[in-house]
Every structure is written in structure tokens, then in C-alpha cells.
Amino acid sequence: MELVSSPMCRAALASLLLLVIAPALQASDWDGGLQLESRSFVQHARWPGQTDDHNDLSLAMQLDYLGRWPSQAWSLQATIFGRIDEQDSSRSHADVRELNLRYSGEYLTVNAGIRQLFWGSVEAVHLVDVVNQSDWLESPDGQQKLGQPAISVSHSFEQGTLELFALPYFREREYPDSQGRLRPFIPVDAAQARYESDEGNRHVDYAARASININDLDFALSYFRGTKREPRFDFEYSGVGIQFSGCSLLEPSCSILPSYRPIDPRLVPIYDQMEQYGVELLYTAEQWIFKAEAVHQHSTPQSFWATAAGLEYNLGAVSSSAWDWTLLLEYYRDSRGTLSPGSPQGMAISTLASNGTFRLEQLPELRNLQILSYSPFQDDVFFGGRLALNDTASTEALAGVFIDTQTGAKMSTVKGGRRLGERWRLTLEATAYFDVPVLDPLYNFKQDSYVRLQLTRYF
């Protein structure tokens, strides 16, 4: 029997547990919000099976709870999230983001339950943030995370903290279904996921992180050993169909040779074991903030290193007003690079993503195709800016563009929001993709540029 039967069941059980425990606690704070979301896609769907409806409505709710026992040393924190989507059945999901029991002593803190942790210093791409699984259904950029079962012990000393983790259960990455937008060019069959470890998703992972502050410098060292959060994929299909071009033999480019198309193609995730060493740096000097992250990750099929470095410059008040404008510049480098167009794997992926048909001599490449994990930020620059109006409505915005210095691919993003009265907030997010070549990982979303509008009512 699984530790949890389904995300919806987990969320329901966690809510019931809170209702039972809350009356016994000395101080209890409930919070949360109900959100109506509209996603509008600019272009027609790119991949077979995807819905071509440009507008997608969904309803989401989040419930937050914080309670303390009379001793004040013990506390319980919970966050439960759920969404119902009108088009993508996979995006109708629920998750226990946090359900954590915490003991806080003078020098020692113990946590047990489900947690959300954030490691990192760079604004846009978080290389070292490895504990929680990315929630792709909410955000394919990895900014949203699933709750992670964890037990941890942390010790605070004069200039920092050392924390040790045991992670007894692995959360698989969830993907949109075959009809959903913002999915890989071949649907992912997550139900058939495989693991390098014989223990599967019950493999116990371990992690450690030491964070130190010395005057204006913050830095951290981290280590992780366990199941890799990002899978590689086996390409599988039920059979091969034969088709002819249907052209006239009088045409110069016409061929009487048949072509072959895979039937029911799918990607099966494979989760390998890995080790990762990470470092984070953040240095503040008046209006300047310098930050960097670096990781070295080792696994059986693929080992690599990656770095990210950037700076922020606060221009201060704009035009003698209360507005604050911050300029952002970051650079990312990943040793995995890009797939070679002339390699067998690169040629097979290019063919699948373009027309999906193969010649007879290409079929062995199709049968042996594996898709390793590749970062879209293998040699990229991010330019952007953050604006805060510092008004009573907490109006703020972030805008920027990623530019791949090798392939020329570009991804622009805009995020902003403001309060409407005391209990309402309006949020806008827009993402667009430009000039993306076929072997760039962002090619999956080439025609999925979208605008997302969210209206949240807090209670």
C-alpha cells in the first residue's frame, strides 16, 4: 500500500487533521485565499492531441495554518493547496505544501512532517534548490514546489546554522496530460515511472546545509545524496505505422519509399540516484548586491557542473518619488551544453519534433532513443528590472529576458501585482518564447506563449 493514495486524498486528510488538532492548541492562526485564474495562449497548439482553445480557466484555493502549544516550544504549520482546471485534467490537483511539527530549543530545532525549503541566492534560476520537487503543473519554470516529507535537525551557532535532513519519501514530477499546454512535445507517461534504486520512491535521501553570515557576506555549502528530482526519459511506442508521401511521381522530390511513424509515442520518466555539492554566495555593498551559485552533480548516466552569477543595482527613488527601481543582470553556464544536431540522438529528436516520420535506416535510432536532462540555460544571460511603487496597494513588477548566447533563443517574462482593497489582489504574468531552435529544451513550449491573470480573495 502506498504511503499516500492520491494528492486529493492527502489534502483532505491533512485538512481533517488540522480541524481535529487546532482546538487543543493555545494560539491558532488561519489564513488563505480563493483564486480565479485565466490563462490565455497567444498561438495555436503545436503538438498533436493538445487542445487548441486559447483560454483556460481554473479555480484554486490555499489554506494556511499556524498553531502553538502552551509551552511555545512546539508549533504546527500547514499549507494545503488545490486547483480545478477546466481543460487539463492533470492540472486539477491538490498538494500538502506543508504539514510540519516543529520544536524550537535554545540551540537546537527539530522539524518533522512535510516541508517546503528554498536554497539559493540568484534571482531567476535556482541551481542548488534540490530538496523539493518542482510543481510543473503550476509553473514549468520551477518556481513552485511540491511539499517534501522530511525530518531535520538544525543547530544554530553565533554566525550561522547547520541543518541535517532525512527525506524518507520521493515526490515524482507531475506533467500536463496529452491535451494540456506547456507540455513536452511527446506526452509523459508518469504512471510508468522507473527508478535506479530498487526501493523506488521509498528510497531515503539525505541532505545537509551549512549557512554562514560574516558582516555583509552570506554563503552556504550544501550536500545532497538520493533520488534525482529531474528525470531522464525513455522513448517508447506501441508500434510503427507505414505511410507513403502521396505525391506525384512526376515531382522531382517525390519518393516511392515509405516512411514510418511511431504509434502511441510516450516518454517514460527514469529517476536516477545522484550526489550534488552546492555553494551559494551573496554579498551586499551599499546599493550593490553580488550573488552566485554553483553545483557539481554526479549520476550514472550523466554528470555535470553548473554555475550562475549575477548582480543587482538599486537606483533608489525614481524621479524624487517613493518608487524603487532595481536593475538585474545574471549569467548561467551549464556543462551539459546542447545536443549536437548531427548526433543520432539529436537527429532523432529533431525528426520527432518536426514531422514525426522516419526512414527505414533511422528506425534503430528510434528504438534506442533516450532523452537525458538538459538545461535551457546552458550559456545564457538574463537582463531585467524590478519596480516597487511602495504604495498602500503594494504594487510591484518584475520584467526580464533570457538570451541564449549560442542558439539565439529568447524567453521574456513579466510578473506584477497589486492589492485591490484589503482582501483582494490582482496578479499578471506573461511569458513569451522567440527564435527557439528545435534542439533547445524551450522548443517544447515554442508556441505556448501565454498571459496569466489571477484574482485572489484572501480570508
Average of per-residue pLDDT across 95-101: 94
Please give the model's pTM, rounded to 2 decimal places. 0.89
Q: What are the φ/ψ torsions at residue 51 (nearest 5 degrees)?
A: -70, 140
Residue 191 CB contacts under 8 Å (≥ 6 apart), including other chains? none
User: What is the per-residue pLDDT for 3?
Assistant: 44
Q: What is the DSSP string of 204-221?
A: PEEEEEEEEEETTEEEEE
User: What is the per-residue pLDDT for 315?
Assistant: 87
Cα of first residue to Cα of last residue in the chain, in angstroms, is 37
Q: Is the pLDDT of residue 216 over 90?
A: yes
Q: Is the pLDDT of residue 281 over 70?
A: yes
Grade residue 23 by pLDDT with cuts at 50, 70 and 90: low
Inside any domain, residue 256 = no
Give the up-direction half-sphere exposure of residue 199: CA atoms within 13 A in the CB hemisphere: 10
Q: Is the pLDDT of residue 148 over 70?
A: yes
Grade residue 112 by pLDDT with cuts at 50, 70 and 90: very high
Inside any domain, residue 358 = no
Grade residue 4 by pLDDT with cuts at 50, 70 and 90: very low
Grade residue 277 by pLDDT with cuts at 50, 70 and 90: very high
Average pLDDT, rounded, for the chain: 89
Inside any domain, residue 214 = yes
Cα–Cα distance for residue pair 11/84, rounded to 1 Å: 14
Element (H, E) at 352: helix 344-354
User: What is the per-residue pLDDT for 188?
Assistant: 94
Cell numbers 519534433 correspond to 353
Inside any domain, residue 369 = no
> What is the number of structural domains in the chain?
1
Which amino acid would we find at residue 249? L
**Which of 115 and 158 is assigned the larger pLDDT?**
115
- In the chain, the largest separation of any two C-alpha atoms, in whole Å, equals 89
Specify which of 36-45, 46-55, 313-322, 354-363 reaches the highest per-range mean pLDDT: 36-45
Inside any domain, residue 106 = yes
Which amino acid would we find at residue 427? T
Cα–Cα distance for residue pair 353/63, rounded to 1 Å: 41
Cα–Cα distance for residue pair 389/317, rounded to 1 Å: 9
Cα–Cα distance for residue pair 55/39, rounded to 1 Å: 6
**Which of 106 and 408 is assigned the larger pLDDT?**
408
What are the start-end ranges of the H helices in 142-292?
none
Domain harbouring 396, CATH code:
2.40.160.10
Q: Is the pLDDT of residue 356 over 60?
A: yes
**Which of 356 and 64 is assigned the larger pLDDT?**
64
Inside any domain, residue 258 = no
Q: Is the pLDDT of residue 120 over 70?
A: yes
* Cell output for 360: 527505414
Residue 199's nearest CA partner among 160, 169, 240, 158 is 169
Inside any domain, residue 200 = yes
- Angle formed at CA 413 by CA 136 and CA 278, multiple of 5 degrees: 60
Pairing of strands 266-271, 194-195: parallel
* Long-range CB contacts for residues 253-257, cutoff 8 Å, separation at least 24: 257/359, 257/360
Cell numbers 527613488 correspond to 317
The 8-class DSSP code of residue 251 comes to S
| Residues spanned by the domain of 446 | 7-231+272-338+374-458
Inside any domain, residue 363 = no
